[in-house]
Amino acid sequence: MQDLTVIPASNAATLPAAPMTLRHWIGGAWVDSTDGATSERRSPAHGVSVSIAAKAGRAEAEAAIAAARAAFDAGGWSRSSGKDRATLLLKVAELIDRDRQAIARQEVLESGKPITQALAEIEGGADLWRYAAALARTMHGDSHNSLGPDMLGLVLKEPIGVVSLICPWNFPFLIVSQKLPFALAAGCTAVIKPSELTPGTTVMLGGLLEEAGLPAGVCNIVLGYGDPVGEVLSTDARVDMVSFTGSTGVGKRITAAASATLKKVSLELGGKNPQVIFPDADLDQAADAIAFGVYFNAGECCNSGSRIIVHEDVAEALTEKVVALSRRVPFGDPLDPRTQVGAIISPEHLAKIDGYVRGAVAAGARVALGGGALEVGGLGAQFYQPTIVTDVRPEMPIATEEVFGPVLSVLTFRTLDQAIALANDAAYGLSAGVWSSDVSTCLDFARRVQAGTVWTNTWMDGFAELPFGGFKQSGQGRELGRYGIEEFLEVKTVQMRIGQTRGAWVA
């Protein structure tokens, strides 16, 4: 294993005696599928059954949409005060904090991510609910009193209506918390479809919403697969908006499906995110951030720093530092608090990751570290070694396509213009980073790179106050910040004649 740091199965970790039973939440009621269909999720790290979920068909998806539509049109939530919405969102945040350990444990069991990371994500999710509560109290329209003595113009902001929230498997609780509280703060009603691989924590969130007193039908949860559930949520005319996080390919299909009804579509899609390292950078800090950026969540992260573009003068030194750090990153049992990188979500995805590495080697690249499945004692081989691939050319798929695994591609440059050209040489534009002690270099790069987020001398810091989203094929629209609630609002102009009536048009 090339002297890697591997954490074997922990004897102290207690696996569940029985899988969690998960049902749909529709119109305020917990229900099974009408045909009794279910799907099982087995832990990618431990191999045991961890959840049995009701598996929806078109009937359940349509029932959930009908419940959300009825709740929105009734107006109890959509026309409620910002104060009332904020009060409920704050209550949900408190309940998330209360159940943080249980939610994080279920996320670990279903996704394979480390427990320490899951705990941090649940804490971050609660913070998003609190931030959205603040937006519910402070959102407002505009008034225009400069239109003349007898006119007043108003710009109202109103909830867009029923929204479909389709969420992925890599950050199931955090990403639903990037969408749902903002939609609720705006006054929308919602239907959520979590990934069929990680439905548990979304169902747990539904239980907290019910406990907090969210009115029936305002939020609904439908468990199942993209076909047919995602298709119904994207095409039904009663849905006013679709918010999707996932792969670019699926995002394109959702956009096409939604086009028939011209509903709004917000997409947070893939990334092939570069970090550009100049010769005057602090290489030790850069190397640590690079290791974090590529191994965080086993690289199954749209913000993964999966390619570095390093100046030729320091490329060898930096690569050596990253290799040395990579050997020390603890891979293994996600229930062990020492572990920093857990299991890959599925055998099929592991094979896809390995295919990119093998393809690069066949095309002339060199593996400096890793390059295969990682056997973990007592757990098996659904893990992938920390992998660093050098001698990568810009045209290789590993340099331009989203690997979504713990695999780092290393490219080199000579000039600033060349570095920016390489950074922009991908269909994606989610995030980018620059490492230099010269603020002018950092600012020049930040203004010229095509990315929705740019980090300078850091990587993957995140704040609820700052918007998140991508350029190009990384998506459209923004989450978080005040933009996160604007996505779920319609703008309405009201023109009021308040003085004398205008002169007659017809004499």
Pair 223, 353 in one domain: no
**29-31 and 453-456 as β-strands: parallel, antiparallel, unpaired?**
unpaired
Distant-in-sequence, close-in-space partners of 355: CB < 8 Å, separation ≥ 6: none
pLDDT over 90, % of the chain: 96
Rounded mean pLDDT, 158-166? 98
Does 224 fall in a domain? yes
Above 60 in pLDDT, residue 1?
Answer: no
**29-31 and 24-26 as β-strands: parallel, antiparallel, unpaired?**
antiparallel
The pair of three-digit structure tokens given for residue 344, joined into one six-digit string: 């890959």
DSSP 3-state of 74: helix
Does 469 fall in a domain? no
Pair 82, 217 in one domain: yes
Band of pLDDT at residue 498, cut at 50, 70 and 90? confident
Above 70 in pLDDT, residue 2?
Answer: no
Report the distance separating Cα 47 and Cα 90, nearest Å.
Answer: 37
Pair 186, 73 in one domain: yes
Per-residue pLDDT tens digits for 92-106: 999 999 999 999 999
CATH of the domain at 255: 3.40.605.10
Does 176 fall in a domain? yes
Pair 250, 302 in one domain: no
Per-residue pLDDT tens digits for 440-485: 999 999 999 999 999 999 999 999 999 999 999 999 999 999 999 9
Does 500 fall in a domain? no
The pair of three-digit structure tokens given for residue 413, joined into one six-digit string: 């440059």
Report the distance separating Cα 439 and Cα 13, nearest Å.
Answer: 47
Domains of the chain: total: 2
Pair 148, 252 in one domain: yes
336 bridge partner residues = none
Closest CA to 286 of 259, 262, 319: 319
Does 420 fall in a domain? yes
507 vs 155, higher pLDDT: 155
Does 8 fall in a domain? no
**274-277 and 307-311 as β-strands: parallel, antiparallel, unpaired?**
parallel
**453-456 and 219-221 as β-strands: parallel, antiparallel, unpaired?**
unpaired
In the prediction, which pLDDT does 44 show? 97
Pair 321, 297 in one domain: yes
Q: Residue 242: enclosing H or E segment and its boundaries?
A: strand 241-245
Pair 252, 317 in one domain: no
181: left (phi over 0), alpha (psi -120 to 50) or beta: alpha
Per-residue pLDDT tens digits for 44-85: 999 999 999 999 999 999 999 999 999 999 999 999 999 999
Q: How far is CA 94 from CA 53, 97, 116, 186, 360, in A?
A: 26, 5, 20, 20, 48
Kindly report the number of other CB atoms within 10 A of residue 445's CB atom.
Answer: 22
In the prediction, which pLDDT does 500 show? 73
Above 80 in pLDDT, residue 503?
Answer: no
Pair 257, 379 in one domain: no
DSSP 3-state of 198: coil
Sheet (strand 24-26) strand order: 29-31, 24-26, 219-221, 189-193, 162-166, 241-245, 264-268, 475-476
Q: Phi and psi of 156, rounded to 5°?
A: -95, 145
CATH of the domain at 279: 3.40.309.10
Beta carbons of 385 and 1 less than 8 angstroms apart: yes
* Catalytic positions: 268, 302
Per-residue pLDDT tens digits for 272-330: 999 999 999 999 999 999 999 999 999 999 999 999 999 999 999 999 999 999 999 99
Locate the DSSP E strands across 327-386. Answer: 330-332, 366-369
Per-residue pLDDT tens digits for 15-33: 999 999 999 999 999 999 9
Does 506 fall in a domain? no
Report the distance separating Cα 112 and Cα 123, nearest Å.
Answer: 18
Distant-in-sequence, close-in-space partners of 85: CB < 8 Å, separation ≥ 6: 77, 133, 136, 184, 185, 187
Pair 242, 208 in one domain: yes
In the prediction, which pLDDT does 12 show? 67
Chain centroid offset of residue 7 CA:
27
Average pLDDT, the chain: 96
The full length of the chain comes to 507
The pair of three-digit structure tokens given for residue 492, joined into one six-digit string: 């309405």
In the prediction, which pLDDT does 180 show? 98
Pair 35, 111 in one domain: yes
Does 157 fall in a domain? yes
Type of residue at 13? A
Pair 147, 290 in one domain: no
Pair 393, 417 in one domain: yes
- Give the structural domain span for 342: 274-456
